[in-house]
């Protein structure tokens, strides 16, 4: 079954929120497919083909959460090299989240409209702080310039995750998210050193409980299985390696007054730690006193000397930005040379991303329009594609609640940012052989449809007094040649999809504009009458009814789910 058939398969409509485990899709892969040979044979040589609308849109849609028309036009005009350079330019750390709790309750330590990240903790309102952080985060995705930072921040939050609602103090979660954003284009080894001792991670994976007389192996296990060497075919660390790593990492705790980590020598195991042949039979000499903390660096140096680290991280980057299939050809032609570059470059992320995003392989036709949009790609892309107006920051509460409404759909679509399902992250990036097809099942496809249905409806989506709506009449006026039904469809496809649709689909869309008639003027006359006299209720009703059905059909296309 091809990707579009997979999305067009008949599925029941459900309207009730589901709290049970995710429903699996019977149409998803039963075994991992292969790349077409031409796709894998195009390697990492710099792309030298045409730089046109399709290529610019492919680059921006993969590296950002949708793009605006202005951003697309800028990328098209400045070329691939300049656009990739702009994407990989570090951006300033944004202002922190605010108290935008709306009518959920008062924060005794933080007035409305001020930031809570430097205010005293209060257990009764901390969940509101966590939610406001998610709303703030989504807003950063919506307001981003031409930058890969937000996509990389979400990538890292899936690769080395915590769960916001599992951290008792949201100030720690905010600091952790800030750490990921600041290192989104930096050095992965440096980041992981900071992650290992960060209070949020010490809480999430029980590092603060890991003591010499009562070792806790939780972080030591995930450090190797998920964060570094992974579970690839050549990853052969042992259960004893997990135990020895846990001993190295004993002694860390959290100063609740400062929310900083502390190393407590009396809680550290000072004995020698012997590792397996996978790590070259490394022996870490136990250290007493404050010197015990230096063992953490020895542990990370030992792990990062293992070539599997670079391969594991590069595979994760590939699945995030290109495609989920990594067969023998992709492993040989793409993963291995990128991993060599990553390792030889000291684990710097930006150079590897630059090589990938400028490569022939990235722009190969087979790698375009082949990923099912993540919920964040789907939601943010819809906002940008259709110029949806959200409350501005003149009213902080409404500003945050506009994002809260969209985040609520993200939860229904199975991507609750800040709260991946577990320490392994979202299934779409790890569940073999399904991968990104995990985003679509009988529940989530219904909610995807409900999202555009409610946004197109006359009253839009009203969330506690905040209204969000696709103003399709205003939007259509921004599409070039809107009076010509053929060009309206073509330009809309170019703007929102990025790849062609079938003649049957075009005919279906055109039939709606023409109300079943055959001559183009049935739409042209109706549209020009409305544009010439927008206050005329009759003219408006004619185009409104046609465009409502037109956009419902357009957004129901399988292609609208692909990126």
Q: How many independent structural domains does the chain possess?
A: 2
Residue finishing a domain among 351, 368, 385: 368
* 467 touches 460 (CB < 8 A): yes
Evaluate whether residue 173 is within a structural domain. no
Q: How confident is the model at residue 6 (pLDDT cuts 50, 70, 90)?
A: very low
Q: Is residue 548 part of a domain?
A: yes
pLDDT above 70 for 199: yes
- Residue 319 in any domain: the answer is yes
Element (H, E) at 96: none
Confidence of residue 11 (pLDDT cuts 50, 70, 90): very low
- Residue-wise pLDDT for 208-251, tens only, equals 999 999 999 999 999 999 999 999 999 999 999 999 999 999 99
Core vs surface per residue 8-34: b (16+ CB within 10 A) or e: beebeeeeeebeeeeeebebbbeeeee
Beta strand 273-274 with 260-263 is unpaired
Q: What is the rounded average pLDDT of the residues 103-111?
A: 90
Using 50, 70 and 90 to split pLDDT, how confident is the model at 500? Answer: confident
Q: Does 129 reside within a domain?
A: no
Please indicate, yes or no, if residue 83 is contained in any of the structural domains: yes
Question: What are the Cα distances from residue 167, in Å, to 109, 161, 176, 487, 561?
Answer: 19, 12, 11, 52, 33
Half-sphere exposure of 474 (CA within 13 A, CB side): 9
Decide if 76 is inside a domain.
yes
Give mean pLDDT, residues 492-503.
90
pLDDT score of 36: 57
pLDDT of 40: 52
* Boundary-marking domain end, from 305, 340, 368: 368
Q: At 164, is the secondary structure helix, strand, or coil?
A: helix
SS3 299: helix
Give the pLDDT of residue 29: 84
pLDDT at residue 25, as a whole number: 75
- CA-wise closest residue to 429 among 319, 330, 331: 319
Please indicate, yes or no, if residue 412 is contained in any of the structural domains: no
pLDDT in tens, 283-306: 999 999 999 999 999 999 999 999
Domain that holds residue 483: 474-561
Contact 249, 220 (CB under 8 A): yes
How many percent of the chain have pLDDT more than 70?
94
Q: What is the pTM of this model?
A: 0.94
| Predicted pLDDT at 499 | 81
Q: What percent of the chain has pLDDT over 90?
A: 90
Over the chain, what is the mean pLDDT? 93
In tens, the pLDDT along 408-438 reads 999 999 999 999 999 999 999 999 999 999 9
**93-102 tens-digit pLDDT:** 999 999 999 7
Picking from 333, 368, 403, the residue at the C-terminal end of a domain is 368
Residue 70 lies in a domain: yes
């Amino acid at each position: 079954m091809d990707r579009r058939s997979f999305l067009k398969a008949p599925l029941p409509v459900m309207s009730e929120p589901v709290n049970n485990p995710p429903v699996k899709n019977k149409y998803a892969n039963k075994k991992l497919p292969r790349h077409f040979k031409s796709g894998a044979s195009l390697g990492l040589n710099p792309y030298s083909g045409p730089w046109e609308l399709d290529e610019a849109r492919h680059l921006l849609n993969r590296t950002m959460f949708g793009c605006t028309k202005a951003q697309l036009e800028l990328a098209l005009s400045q070329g691939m090299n300049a656009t990739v350079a702009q994407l990989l330019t570090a951006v300033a750390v944004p202002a922190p989240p605010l108290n935008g709790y709306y009518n959920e309750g008062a924060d005794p330590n933080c007035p409305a409209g001020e930031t809570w990240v430097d205010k005293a903790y209060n257990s009764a309102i901390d969940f509101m702080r966590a939610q406001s952080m998610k709303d703030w985060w989504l807003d950063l995705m919506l307001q981003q310039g031409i930058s890969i930072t937000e996509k990389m921040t979400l990538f890292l939050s899936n690769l080395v995750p915590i769960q916001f609602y599992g951290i008792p103090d949201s100030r720690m979660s905010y600091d952790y998210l800030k750490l990921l954003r600041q290192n989104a284009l930096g050095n992965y080894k440096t980041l992981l050193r900071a992650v290992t001792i960060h209070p949020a991670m010490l809480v999430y994976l029980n590092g603060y409980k890991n003591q010499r007389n009562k070792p806790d192996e939780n972080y030591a296990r995930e450090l190797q299985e998920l964060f570094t060497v992974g579970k690839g075919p050549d990853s052969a660390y042992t259960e004893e390696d997990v135990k020895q790593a846990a001993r190295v990492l004993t002694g860390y705790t959290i100063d609740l007054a400062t929310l900083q980590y502390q190393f407590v020598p009396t809680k550290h195991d000072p004995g020698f730690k012997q590792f397996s042949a996978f790590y070259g039979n490394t022996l870490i000499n136990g250290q007493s006193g404050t010197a015990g903390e230096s063992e953490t660096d020895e542990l990370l140096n030992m792990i990062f000397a293992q070539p599997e680290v670079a391969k594991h991280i590069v595979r994760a980057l590939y699945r995030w930005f290109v495609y989920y299939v990594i067969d023998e050809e992709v492993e040989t032609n793409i993963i291995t040379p990128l991993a060599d570059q990553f390792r030889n470059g000291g684990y710097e992320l930006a150079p590897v991303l630059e090589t990938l995003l400028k490569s022939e392989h990235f722009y190969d036709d087979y790698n375009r329009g082949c990923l099912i949009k993540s919920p964040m790609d789907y939601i943010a892309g819809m906002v940008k594609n259709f110029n949806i107006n959200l409350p501005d920051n003149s009213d902080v509460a409404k500003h945050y609640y506009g994002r809260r409404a969209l985040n609520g759909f993200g939860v229904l679509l199975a991507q609750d940012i800040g709260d991946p399902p577990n320490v392994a992250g979202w299934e779409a990036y790890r569940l073999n052989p399904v991968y990104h097809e995990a985003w679509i099942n009988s529940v989530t496809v219904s909610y995807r449809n409900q999202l555009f249905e409610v946004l197109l409806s006359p009253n839009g989506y009203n969330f506690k007094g905040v209204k969000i709506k696709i103003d399709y009449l205003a939007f259509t006026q921004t599409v070039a040649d809107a009076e010509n039904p053929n060009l309206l469809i073509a330009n809309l496809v170019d703007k929102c999809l990025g790849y062609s649709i079938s003649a049957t689909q075009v005919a279906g869309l055109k039939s709606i504009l023409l109300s079943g008639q055959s001559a183009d003027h049935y739409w042209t006359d109706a549209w020009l009458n409305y544009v010439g006299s927008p206050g005329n209720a009759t003219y408006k009703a004619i185009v409104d009814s046609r465009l409502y059905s037109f956009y419902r059909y357009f957004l129901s296309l399988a292609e609208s789910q692909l990126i």
